[in-house]
Structure 1
Amino acid sequence: MLNARRDLSALLDGTAAYLPLPAGDDAEVRRLSTALSLGEPIDDDAALVVSTSGTTGTPKGAIHTAASLRASIDATAAVLGGPGSWLLAMPPHHIAGLQVMLRSLAAGYDPVVLDLAAGFDPAALPALLDSMPGDRRYTSLVPVQLRKALDDPRATAALAEVDAILVGGAATGPALAARALGAGLPIVRTYGMSETAGGCVYDGVPLPAAQMRIAEPNADGVGRVVLGGATLAKGYRNLPDHPAFAEPGWFLTDDLGAVDDGVLQIVGRADEAISTGGLTVVPQVVEAVIGDLPGVAECAVLGLPDDRLGERVVAAIVPQAGETAPDAATVRAAVTDRLDRYAAPREVFVLGALPRRGPGKVDRRALRESLR
């Protein structure tokens, strides 16, 4: 932690520039080092190049200054009620894990670290949370970690005593959020990405340092989410003309959303929409319906190639521990009733787990290949 404290302090001071790399993954280290020009000159005000969580194509690295990182840290502390110590429970080379360390160090505390070498073990949480210093204690989890913690009564009780639990990295379904709130956990659902220094919208409301709007909304108010403000990256390393940063001061996301009375609702992703029989299905809308069914722990909806329809809608379901997943007829009936027949999955696969990428997102490409 001594070297980490020194390096992270230099990052916050703007006196050095870093590219965080994953430990124990030599192939990914080589890939990122080459694509993001490790060791090559960079703008004087750059403090951090952090890779996005995508797994295809050329890796992108968001360039942050000390000012954009500090803006995120200060805004988070203001919204949560003040600075405090943080428990690191996710990989530190992703923006969410890195920000946990930076927030803790900025508050004067070394972060307490959960060893993830053998995976996330909620049984370790009570002792680690009890060891945290300071008047305020925080942590950040991805939804799959939150679900595992809720299955452990001692971990749930320990998490109920912290001041806030940021949940992000992937969508937190309504059923999981309701379960956490019902157990007394002080969760805060966050939305953001590497390009915005991590979460910049908390429970649908932008942080004081952030801005949001909807680009070209349709009749229902749904359009691409655009984010801006002091937490925004300068752009991408080696991609100076990337269209996502074409409008100065704003970042055009691939997420579809709407703003209702100042609160952002994410509908899905523009690049994951399924075209079936000439109609468009947004997977996340269907997932919300399936996620409400008894016995469903999590699910993913995607399109598979189909000679007649172009793509056919399918669903992969992970059942709740000790429960049976709903059958295909039940799933189809629920989706047809709440949405429409064309959105109902034509096949339902029951899996032990969904493949993941980055800090906890479902790896739809890997899932699609396995189901094909």
Structure 2
Amino acid sequence: MALLTPGDPADPLALQGALLQAMDAGGPAVVVGVDPARLDRDALPAGTALVLATSGSTGVPKRVALSAAALRASAAATAARIGEGAWVLALPASRIAGIQVLVRAALAGAPVQPAASGGAADVAAAAAALPAGAPAYTSLVPAQLRALLRDAPDALARFEAVLVGGQRTPPDLLEEAAERGIRVVRTYGSTETAGGCVYDGAPLPGVMLRIEAGEVLVAGEMLADGYVGEPAATAAAFPVRDGRRWYRTGDRGALAADGALQVTGRADNVIVSGGVNVSLDLVEAAVHTVPALRDAVVIGVADETWGEASVVVTAQGDARDLADARAAVERALGAAARPREVVRVGAVPLLASGKPDRVALRERFGGRRLG
């Protein structure tokens, strides 16, 4: 029977130590975001170092089993691409992006400095506390990058590279960072891939990509062993193709002629409006070109006339921005994709990972019927 130990994301340095024990000494597997008492220990794959709950951004969280080899492969591939050194932990240690900050620093024998709230002031203070002159890195979500560019841009200059992921990074953020000489690296990955596995569209060393029926599939040593106690879900998500094990991401995308990955959105984040399939991810990307709506979230709602339509949920813009949003979407995707309404909220709900909580938004506004 597997030995398990709970990992406390509120104490990231202790969590880092537990992870190292699990990876180096074959110690108890670390369990984060899951009650160990609710796990079937006999269902745990051999060699599991970490059991981590997915963010649940599109549905019910799953319990992902990651081996020491997968965690090491991911960290080594990142180091090969961007270098290694000290890290500022600005993301929750309850998510794979935060956990990999701990793993990368530990394997490099370098310090990690937690930024208590993940806010701009705390990230700046954590960066200042790192050893002077040593290479340093951090990992952020787009909202954190925007806040740092606004409130503490000098802190970003401390980093050799700033990884940004979790969701699409608006072009204006990338442009502003580039103008300031900050190296921002766009990352793509998931808990099932032990974190980011594609940087700026290019797969990391050891990562393989393929497109199957429009869906992005990933292979490599960093893949999770599966979902604990869910053999059917594991088999569906990790099929074998030509003797190689792949992970079905559920994302739609394409590979350019040079092999660069272009992700267009979730395969399941689609509505049918007037008989036309509309990707809400692409609608959201177009809406983000409107300055007042650059942090908005687009969800689908029922529509009396067209069956389904999209609604823009925002904490900044308002109904006056609807015309600009509709024009931007029509230019990019056609008239059928135009959003029907802009809804103002006090704050867009977020998951611990920093992603918008789309499940909560659908529960709140999904029943909204438009005529």
* TM-score category of the 2 structures, normalised to the smaller one: 0.7 to 0.9
**In structure 2, do the counterparts of structure 1 residues 83 and 338 end up closer, same or farther at CA, with 3 Å as the change threshold?**
closer
User: SS of the residue aligned with 1:90?
Assistant: coil
Residue 79 in 1 paired to residue 81 in 2?
Answer: yes
**In structure 2, do the counterparts of structure 1 residues 141 and 147 end up closer, same or farther at CA, with 3 Å as the change threshold?**
same
Residue 313 in 1 paired to residue 310 in 2?
Answer: yes
Q: How many residues are aligned here?
A: 348
Q: 1:366 maps to what in 2? A: 360
* Counterpart mapping for 1:1-372 below 5 A: 3-13=14-24, 15-22=26-33, 30=35, 34=38, 36-37=39-40, 42-54=44-56, 58-80=60-82, 82-116=83-117, 120-133=118-131, 135-152=134-151, 155-216=152-213, 223-242=214-233, 243-247=236-240, 248-260=244-256, 261-319=258-316, 327-371=321-365, 372=368
TM-score by length of 1: 0.87
User: SS of the residue aligned with 1:295?
Assistant: helix
**In structure 2, do the counterparts of structure 1 residues 252 and 61 end up closer, same or farther at CA, with 3 Å as the change threshold?**
same
**In structure 2, do the counterparts of structure 1 residues 128 and 276 end up closer, same or farther at CA, with 3 Å as the change threshold?**
same
> d(CA) in 2 for partners of 1:2 and 1:245?
32
Deviations 1:77-111 (A, max 9, x none): 1100x320111111112111110011111111231
Deviations 1:256-300 (A, max 9, x none): 111112111110101111111111111121122221123333111
**In structure 2, do the counterparts of structure 1 residues 14 and 279 end up closer, same or farther at CA, with 3 Å as the change threshold?**
farther
User: SS of the residue aligned with 1:357?
Assistant: coil
> d(CA) in 2 for partners of 1:230 and 1:319?
42
> d(CA) in 1 for partners of 2:155 and 2:259?
33
Q: CA shift at 1:358, angstroms?
A: 4.2
Does the CA-based 8 Å contact 1:295-1:326 persist in structure 2? no
> d(CA) in 2 for partners of 1:315 and 1:301?
5
Q: 2:4 maps to what in 1? A: none
> d(CA) in 2 for partners of 1:199 and 1:111?
19
Does the CA-based 8 Å contact 1:294-1:326 persist in structure 2? no
User: SS of the residue aligned with 2:175?
Assistant: helix
**In structure 2, do the counterparts of structure 1 residues 17 and 179 end up closer, same or farther at CA, with 3 Å as the change threshold?**
farther
Q: CA shift at 1:195, angstroms?
A: 0.3
- Over aligned residues, Cα RMSD in angstroms? 2.2
> d(CA) in 2 for partners of 1:210 and 1:14?
27
Q: CA shift at 1:40, angstroms?
A: 5.5
Equivalent pairs: percent with the same residue?
43
Q: CA shift at 1:307, angstroms?
A: 3.0
Q: Which amino acid aligns with 1:298?
A: D
> d(CA) in 2 for partners of 1:56 and 1:244?
15
User: SS of the residue aligned with 1:348?
Assistant: strand
> Can you give the 5+ residue segments of structure 1 that lack an aligned partner in the other structure?
23-28, 217-222
